[in-house]
Structure 1
Amino acid sequence: MESARIFEEKKGFPGVIGAIDGTHIKIAAPKENQESYINRKGYHSIQLQVVCNHKMELIHCYVGYPGSVHDQRVFNVSGLQDFCNDPTKFPNDTHLIGDAAYTISKTLLVPYKDNGQLTVRNKNYNYCLSSTRMVVERCIGLLKVRFRILLDKLPMKRTDLIPKYIMACCVLHNICILKNDMIEIPLLVEDVTENITENVDVNRLLHIEEKEKRERIKDALRLRL
């Protein structure tokens, strides 16, 4: 509830208890199933999915799927889907926020698809959500800058050990945050903002309640454009 309060005070978007995003960790070509680790940008990688709070603390991490797997698929198998399906985990109509790579639900809000016909209110909603969601991009940027090997390339080929190494970096990231050990984040970090421009049809197969919740927040947001 502290996260929800601070997110709304700073960004104006209500009910946010965490922001979700995925990123690719570059790896050397593994010994087995090399082709499945090639992502859409053409290099070998392992997926890291994170959820952070307003302090850039990682409150959920899931790592290990090959780079060719879509973000929504990683979400489905990460355990977060089951978590989001439990309304008791989201008191007072709270939710996570993500980008267009994810499917909307009552507990995971995403932008409206830009089909060229968005209203001012739709655009304002997308702007406010994106502005609030920047915290997870900064979190990933901080993680990769602090542990530069995650930004460059992991010189490891054992796919059973790579996820443990990455998860250890995530744990150390949280320890640094708790100790107020902060460092400067460069303006541009490769792959941190790669999902912003993705246009996945998140309006497909939406339920009425999910659309109504997004509409309600859209209409209540103060115009910032």
Structure 2
Amino acid sequence: MKDIVKFPAFKVDKHTVNAKRIKSLLLRLALKENTAYGERRIYIQLPEESDHCNHKTPGRKRPRRSRKLKDNTKTECVPCLDSDLNDSQFLNTFRVTKSLYQFLVGEWQKEVVEKMVEAGVPVAELEQFEQHVLAALYYLGSAENIASASSRFKIKTIDFMDSILKFSDFLIRQQEKYLTLPTLEERITIAEVIKHDSGFPGVFGAMDAALVQMQTPLSNEEQDYCYNNTPSGSKCAFVLQFIVDHRLHFRDIHLDAPTTGTRIQVFQESGAWFHLQSLTSSETHIVAPAVYPLAPAIMTPHMTEVLSYQEALFNENHREAHKLAVNAMTIFKSRFKRMQKLDRHVDNNRKFVKAACILHNIALMHEDETDGRSSFFTTAGRQGGAHSSQGGANINGRGASSSGGTPVSAKGGGGSCRVSVTHHPPPLPLSSAPTLLLCSCHAPPPLPPSTSTVGCDSCPNFVLQCCSKFWCCILT
């Protein structure tokens, strides 16, 4: 151990004899005048391993044991750029097909090249967009936190988030191409398909709203996006209003905060409100729940206690047509699991929701063209029923009843029923007696005295099943 007093103010800059002599004289003068301030330093020299004798040295620490992964952790499809995943593994990991992934990379590079040519910049080696696209697809398609997801790609968290934001901005720029309201000719074509499927004429889309849950935001934004206060904490979400067509494509979306009010008030703040007001009854219309206002271009079901046969048939056809909205949200949240629970950054989340809606349309269009039908329906569609109650068509806590004031539950009318989705369900076979098909989760409507109601487990007239049992109401 050494006990030394040092004077840092008189440190020798150059190790020469004259410099040391001058600093020594200055230090002595300062000591005589009591103007020198020193520092006491104690140096302890620890023994080396060779100095130990006649006793055992402590051994090294044991290596850490590898943590056992949970049973629900998927390890067979690690999202690494060097990994060679087959088509099924790629779809389960990144939630899109390989061909769609290559299409997105090509479209992004094409957009960058066009901008460089317009600006007169020589097109040199382009940035590799493969990693950006893969990172964004994995983040949107998984519920994994961003720190863990970025470690899988072996990049920093800030770079990982930057890649997702760049890809989201690219998708949002494609909104005019992939997410627009249909023209008159498109509305007529869509109405023919929906009439063939559900029996409801003149319908070009189904409208509803759903909650997109997110973590509690920072600062004062919590007050705007909180829709339910519980002892365990606040529940926050976006209100996503959407219109879908017969192919489950989003034709219009509107994001708002739950504090805006009921679904009617959210609807009045959207662009679809002004568009639908310009349509006349001679043209096509959309179907919507009873919480929305009845208008020439908006068809809502009858809500009276006693329904006539025509009103009951109208409600049944309306329900069949409106299943498009429930099925679209089921597929949307099944494909993009991030939409079941977003992070706490509101501005980024707003971009992610819009980008996911556009990517949903691109995926359905591309998969229909290449595979004849959506490949995602065959792999992930069976998981969709579990999400219908989470992202169903009703808003919990901020919704409205037919009067527009009381809240409605987020659980759909079908409860925990499973939803079997097809693009074009077969039509009802023609018979001499009309037939009504209802799920057993719903009470059968009032029918004329000459009607016999039979509960059965299967029926040849079945079109779209929402649970294992349903009411088969045969009108005799």
The two structures have a TM-score, normalised by structure 1, of 0.80
1:93 aligns with 2:283: yes
Structure 1, residues 98-126: CA drift from partner, whole Å, max 9, x if none? Answer: 1122111000111111x422222212211
Structure 1, residues 2-56: CA drift from partner, whole Å, max 9, x if none? Answer: 1100000111000001111111000111122423322259621111111111001
In 1, Cα distance between equivalents of 2:350 and 2:326: 20
Contact 1:98/1:109 (CA < 8 Å) preserved in 2? yes
Equivalent residue, structure 1, for 2:411: none
1:63 aligns with 2:262: no
In 1, Cα distance between equivalents of 2:228 and 2:286: 26
SS at 1:5 equivalent: helix
In 2, Cα distance between equivalents of 1:135 and 1:18: 8
Equivalent residue, structure 1, for 2:403: 201
Unaligned runs of 5+ in 1: 203-221
In 1, Cα distance between equivalents of 2:202 and 2:316: 16
Equivalent residue, structure 2, for 1:20: 207
Structure 1, residues 56-99: CA drift from partner, whole Å, max 9, x if none? Answer: 11111111323663211111011111101112xx6843101111
In 2, Cα distance between equivalents of 1:117 and 1:51: 30
SS at 1:93 equivalent: coil
- Indicate how the Cα distance of structure 1 residues 145 and 200 shifts in structure 2: closer, same or farther if over 3 A, else same: same
Structure 1, residues 132-154: CA drift from partner, whole Å, max 9, x if none? Answer: 11011110111111000112x10
Instruction: Indicate which of 187, 190, 193 corresponds to 2:385.
Output: 187
Letter of the structure 2 residue corresponding to residue 201 of structure 1: S
In 1, Cα distance between equivalents of 2:288 and 2:375: 25
Equivalent residue, structure 2, for 1:209: none
Comparing 27-36 with 180-189, which one deviates more in the overlay? 180-189
SS at 1:188 equivalent: helix
Q: How does 1:21-60 map to 2 (within 5 A)?
A: 21-31=208-218, 32-39=220-227, 43-60=235-252
Higher CA-based Rg: 2
- Indicate how the Cα distance of structure 1 residues 20 and 182 shifts in structure 2: closer, same or farther if over 3 A, else same: farther
Structural RMSD (CA): 2.4
Q: How does 1:70-219 map to 2 (within 5 A)?
A: 70-87=262-279, 92-113=282-303, 115-151=304-340, 153-155=341-343, 157-180=344-367, 181-183=374-376, 184-185=380-381, 186-189=384-387, 190-193=389-392, 195=394, 199-201=401-403
- Indicate how the Cα distance of structure 1 residues 41 and 55 shifts in structure 2: closer, same or farther if over 3 A, else same: farther
Letter of the structure 1 residue corresponding to residue 225 of structure 2: Y
SS at 2:347 equivalent: coil
In 2, Cα distance between equivalents of 1:33 and 1:117: 45
Q: Which has the higher contact order (CA 8 A, sep 6+)?
A: 1
Contact 2:209/2:393 (CA < 8 Å) preserved in 1? no
Contact 1:38/1:68 (CA < 8 Å) preserved in 2? no
In 1, Cα distance between equivalents of 2:332 and 2:259: 19
In 1, Cα distance between equivalents of 2:249 and 2:196: 18
> How many correspondences in the alignment?
201
- Indicate how the Cα distance of structure 1 residues 58 and 99 shifts in structure 2: closer, same or farther if over 3 A, else same: same
The two structures have a TM-score, normalised by structure 2, of 0.39
